[in-house]
Structure 1
Amino acid sequence: MADEVKLLGVVGSPFVCRVQIALKFKGIEYKFVQENLANKSDQLLKYNPVYKKVPVFVHNEKPISESLVILEYIDEVWKNNPIFPSDPYHRALARFWSKFIDDKIVTPSFKSVFSVDEKEREKSIAETTEALEILENELKDKFFGGQEFGYVDIAAVYIAFWIPLFQDIIGMKLFTADNFQKLHKWSQEFLNHPTVKEIMPPRDPLFSFFKGVHDNLHSSSK
C-alpha cells in the first residue's frame, strides 16, 4: 500500500517552506492543501486542534505539527538523502541551533518589522543582530550541514529569504554581505541549490502582501 502524504499549509510561510524543501529533497510525493488562516478549515482544526496553525503534515491519516518536528519525522521515516547528522552529538547540536534560529532570530526579527512599539522594535533589531553574529561564527563549512545542506540549513531558510524581504520593507540593511560575510554567502548558496530554488515562493507577491500588512499596522497606530 502506497503512503498517503498531505501537507496543509499556506504559500509564503517559512515554516511550511521548510517542510516542502525536505519533501522535495527526499523525492516524496505529496498533496498540498492550501489553507486560509482567516477562515480555518475543519480539516486543519481536526488535524491540529492544539495550535490550529500550519504546517500540518499528514502521513497515512496521522497528523504531525510544528515544522522542526515534522522535519525529524520525515527524516526518520524516509531514510534516503538524510538531512540529520548520523552522529548523536551532531544531531543534538542540529536541534539546538534550529531552536536557536526560531527563538532568537525568527521571533525577534518578525517583531522588528510588525511591532508598532518603537522601543520593542529597537530591542528586537538588537536581539536579531546579536543572534546573527553568533550564527555567523558557528558556520564552519559551505552549509551548516557540511558540503550538502541539512536540518539547520532548512531551519534557517527564514534567514536566507524572509529577512532580506523584511529589511527591504522597513528600509534597513541589517543582513548584508558586509555585515555577515559567511552567512550571506551561505544564503546565496542555499537559495541557489536546485532543490531549494524550485520550492521558494515568488518574491514580489510576498513583498506586496507583507508591505501592506506593515503599512496598515503602522498607519493605524499613528
Structure 2
Amino acid sequence: MGEVRLHGFWYSPFTLRVVWTLKLKDIPYQYIEEDRYNKSLQLLQYNPVHKKTPVLVHNEKPLCESMIIVEYLDEIWPHNPLLPSDPYNRALARFWVNYTEETFSAGVAFYRSNSDEEREKSIENLSKHLMVVENQCFGGEKKIFGGEVINIVDIAFGSMFKFFEVAEDIIGVKVLQDEKFPQLCSWYNNFKNIPVIKENLPDHQKQVATINSIREKRLASS
C-alpha cells in the first residue's frame, strides 16, 4: 500500500484520532513528532494553508485535517471499517462527527477561560452540547456509537473527551459528571479501556503539564 508517515503532536487530540485509526487497522507507519514553536519545513510544505498537524503522507501525497485523514485510511484500508456501509447510517455518522467539532470548540472556550464569568458561560455552553449527545445518541434504537465495534464517531468523540479530561484538571472544574451525563461517561470509560485505545493514550499527567504550559503562554501573550 506504500509508505505512510504521520506528522503530529503527541499530546494533540487530533493526532490521537489518526494514531488510533492506524493502530486499529494495523497499518505500519513512521511517526514524526513536530515542535509547536518550530515546525518543520516539511510540515509547512505539506500543509501550507493551516500549517497544523496532523498531516498524513501516503506515497508522498500529504493529507490534512484529522477526520479527513481517518476517512481516507478507512477507504484505502477497508478492513476493520469505521464508517457504516449503509448510506443513511454513513451520513448520520458524518453528522455526529461534525457535531464533535462544535462540541470541541465549546470545550476549547472552557479550557481558555480566564475569569469566573468566562468559565461559567463556557461550562454552560459545553454542558448544552454534551446533553444533546447524551439525549440523542444513546438509548434504544437511537444509539449512534459505543457499540461492540469501534466506529468513526467513537474515534471523534473519544479524542475530544480525552482533551476534556485534561482541561478539567487544568481548570479544576469537573464538567463530565457521571450523575449528569451517565451514558456518555459510561461509554467513555468503556472506550478508553479498550486495549488498542488504552495502549495508545498519552500519559495523562505529562499531557496536563504540556497543555497547561501552552495555555499559560497563550494567556501571557494576550
TM-score for the superposition, normalised by structure 1: 0.91
Q: Is the 8 A contact 2:138 2:144 kept in 1?
A: yes
Q: Is the 8 A contact 1:113 1:170 kept in 2?
A: yes
For residues 145-160 of structure 1, the aligned pairs below 5 Å read 146-160=147-161
Measure the CA separation in 2 of the matches of 1:217 and 1:52.
18
After the TM superposition, list the runs of 4 or more consecutive aligned residues in structure 1 that deviate by more than 6 angstroms.
Answer: none
Q: Is the 8 A contact 1:12 1:201 kept in 2?
A: yes
Residue of 129, 132, 144 corresponding to 2:130:
132
For residues 1-222 of structure 1, the aligned pairs below 5 Å read 2-103=1-102, 105-116=103-114, 118-137=116-135, 138-140=137-139, 144=145, 146-215=147-216
Q: What displacement does 1:188 show? A: 0.7
Measure the CA separation in 2 of the matches of 1:148 and 1:51.
33
Q: In percent, how many aligned pairs have the same letter?
A: 42
Q: How big is the alpha-carbon RMSD for the aligned residues of Structure 1 and Structure 2?
A: 2.0
TM-score for the superposition, normalised by structure 2: 0.91
| SS of structure 2 residue aligned to 1:20 | helix
Q: What displacement does 1:127 show? A: 1.4
Question: Residues 38-94 of structure 1: CA distance to partner in whole angstroms, max 9, x if unpaired?
Answer: 111110011111110000011101111000100110000001000111111111111
Q: Is the 8 A contact 1:167 1:174 kept in 2?
A: yes
**Aligned positions, number:** 219
Long gaps (5+) in structure 2: none
Q: What displacement does 1:118 show? A: 5.0
Measure the CA separation in 2 of the matches of 1:127 and 1:177.
18
